[in-house]
Amino acid sequence: MATSKSEGPGLELIHRPRRLRMNPILRGMVEETRLSPSDFIYPMFVEEGRKGRRDREEVASMPGVFRQSIDAALKEMEQCLEAGVRAVILFGIPGRKDPMGSEAYAAKGIVQRAVSAAKRTFGADLLVVTDVCLCEYTDHGHCAPVRKGEILNDEGVTIHARTALSHAVAGADVVAPSDMMDGRVGAIRVTLDDAGFTHVPIMAYSAKYASGFYGPFREAADSTPQFGDRRSYQMNPANAEEALKEVELDLEEGADIVMVKPALPYLDIIRLVKDAFAVPVAAYNVSGEYAMVKAAARLGWIEHDRVMMESLTAIKRAGASIILTYFAKDAAALLRG
Ligand code: PBG
């Protein structure tokens, strides 16, 4: 088919969208979505008892991601800041687990100490978010206590509120409950407010799906359930309307930011939530999404940087203004050129 009048007869097009794609400067001007290092939150794993042992250990299925001591984590936070990434979310791997996950809310727990160290070192330059959950801390690996095989919602909520408070006391800038128990956002809000932490925002993992894409994370955080799965609390991947209900409830309970997780297989959910509510939406580009890109790139089957940037751009285009991603440092470095 002819592309211009001079090339052939017959085609008299008025609309030629390609006109805006010919010149790179103009292409930049009409670009609708632009990533920035300030969009990213970098997830990090701090592990108890690493001092003296090897300071950090790479997660086999997540090249470039480490389980590390607080000292090693501080060094990596420094690298984040150098790359322009100004926010991290911390996950803890405790030295010991028990049925109630008591290390999750211990005043001197691994996350609490990591938060204090980070705030002491970087102050207001670095936003420190904490993941509030129990599955890394319970011996059964579920996100709430268990009795006779039943996952106990209300007991879980009480512990999550206590955990969130311990993070705030340690200096956390934002708390992010990821457990999916009913009512935890409200309980955390009341608990924080009663203790004088009215200024600490809650970023709720609101639409968190029971996903196979968390596989590498569970290796990293040592949080695989010892029996059953998480389908009685995390959402069914087949459901979209239910995501709106979960988001609405979390907002009623006081969530400041709502999250959709995973990201790439759930771009439709991100868009639905963004269109339905006037609040910031975060999306978690999870461990399995990261591992797939790394693995395929290692095999030479895809171009790593190109696929990384395309994925993150798609998540932002879908409506997420905040992206939690293990690619944060690498993507930020590319963006800065
Ligand atoms: C804890 C939690 C999980 C992730 C974040 N917080 C794992 C899970 O629910 O099993 C997953 C993050 C990732 O896969 O990168 N509840």
pLDDT tens digit string along 148-166? 999 999 999 999 999 999 9
SS3 259: strand
Atom of ligand 1 nearest to the CA of 91: 6
Domains of the chain, by residue range, sit at: 34-335
**Residue 208 a catalytic site member:** yes
- Give distance in angstroms: CA of 337 to centre of ligand 1: 31
Greater model confidence, 3 or 74? 74
Task: Label residue 2 by pLDDT band (50, 70, 90).
Answer: very low
Q: What share of the chain is helix, strand, coil (3-state, %, to 5)?
A: 45, 20, 35
pLDDT at 332: 98
Residue nearest to atom 2 of ligand 1 (CA): 178
Per-residue confidence (pLDDT) for residue 10, from 0 to 100: 80
Average pLDDT over residues 188-200: 98
pLDDT reading at 117 higher than 80: yes
Whether residue 272 is predicted with pLDDT greater than 80 in this model: the reply is yes
| CB-side neighbour CA atoms (13 Å) of 11 | 11
pLDDT tens, 276-320?
999 999 999 999 999 999 999 999 999 999 999 999 999 999 999
pLDDT at 135: 95
Question: How far, in Å, is the centroid of ligand 1 from the Cα of 127?
Answer: 20
User: Average per-residue pLDDT in the chain?
Assistant: 95
Query: What pLDDT score does 87 carry?
Result: 98
The rounded percent of the chain whose pLDDT value lies above 70 is 96
pLDDT at 5 over 60: no
Residue 4 clears pLDDT 80, i.e. is over it: no
What residues does 91 pair with on adjacent strands? 45
CATH hierarchy code of domain 34-335: 3.20.20.70
User: What does the pLDDT average to over 134-157?
Assistant: 95
Q: How far is the CA of 214 from the centre of ligand 1 (A)?
A: 6
- Alpha helices by DSSP H, the chain: 24-29, 70-83, 110-122, 153-170, 184-194, 215-221, 241-252, 267-276, 287-298, 304-317, 328-336
pLDDT of residue 89: 98
Is 274 one of the catalytic residues? no
Which of the residues 97, 208, 274, 316 is marked catalytic?
A: 208
Q: Which of 119, 148, 261, 329 is catalytic?
A: 261
Rounded (10°) angle between helices 70-83 and 110-122:
40
Q: Would you state the structure tokens that stand for residue 137, as one six-digit string? A: 């801390």
The pLDDT of residue 1 is: 47
**pLDDT grade for 52, boundaries at 50, 70 and 90:** low
Task: Please give the angle made by the CA atoms of 24, 29 and 34, to the nearest 5 degrees.
Answer: 100
Distance 179 CA to ligand 1 centre (A): 9
pLDDT band of residue 11 (cuts 50, 70, 90) is confident
Residue whose C-alpha is closest to residue 255's, from 208, 205, 203: 203
Task: Report pTM.
Answer: 0.95
